[in-house]
């Protein structure tokens, strides 16, 4: 991944924005709570707007992949389980 990174030596392996110690879940929760990208850019001025947008996009991609795999797994288990 270009914008997200996990390393056991950085924040115990929590997924962070590459080159920072900002956990991606912190970024996502702040967006959920109503922060704008401009607010976050002000808070973390050392992180460029392209990096913030890229991190959000990568996190969204990971979430969609996981949800789709889990959904497909649930469907296949439902179809193969006896009734």
**Could you report the per-residue pLDDT of 49-76, keeping only the tens digit for each?**
999 999 999 999 999 999 998 877 776 6
What is the rounded average pLDDT for all residues in the chain? Answer: 90
* Structural contact between residues 51 and 5, judged by C-beta atoms closer than 8 angstroms: no
The pair phi, psi for residue 18, each rounded to 5°, is -50, 135
* Structural contact between residues 40 and 50, judged by C-beta atoms closer than 8 angstroms: no
Q: How is domain 4-80 classified at the CATH fold level?
A: Arc Repressor Mutant, subunit A (1.10.10)
The whole-model pTM stands at 0.80
Half-sphere exposure of 24 (CA within 13 A, CB side): 24
The pair phi, psi for residue 17, each rounded to 5°, is -70, 125
Which residues on adjacent β-strands are paired with residue 7?
10
Domain regions of the chain by residue span? 4-80
């Amino acid at each position: 991944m270009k914008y997200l990174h996990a390393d056991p030596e950085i924040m115990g392996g929590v997924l962070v924005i590459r080159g920072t110690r900002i956990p991606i879940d912190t970024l996502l929760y702040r967006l959920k709570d109503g922060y704008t990208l401009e607010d976050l850019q002000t808070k973390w001025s050392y992180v460029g707007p392209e990096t913030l947008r890229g991190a959000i996009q990568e996190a969204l991609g990971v979430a969609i992949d996981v949800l789709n795999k889990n959904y497909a797994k649930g469907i296949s288990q439902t179809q193969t389980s006896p009734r």
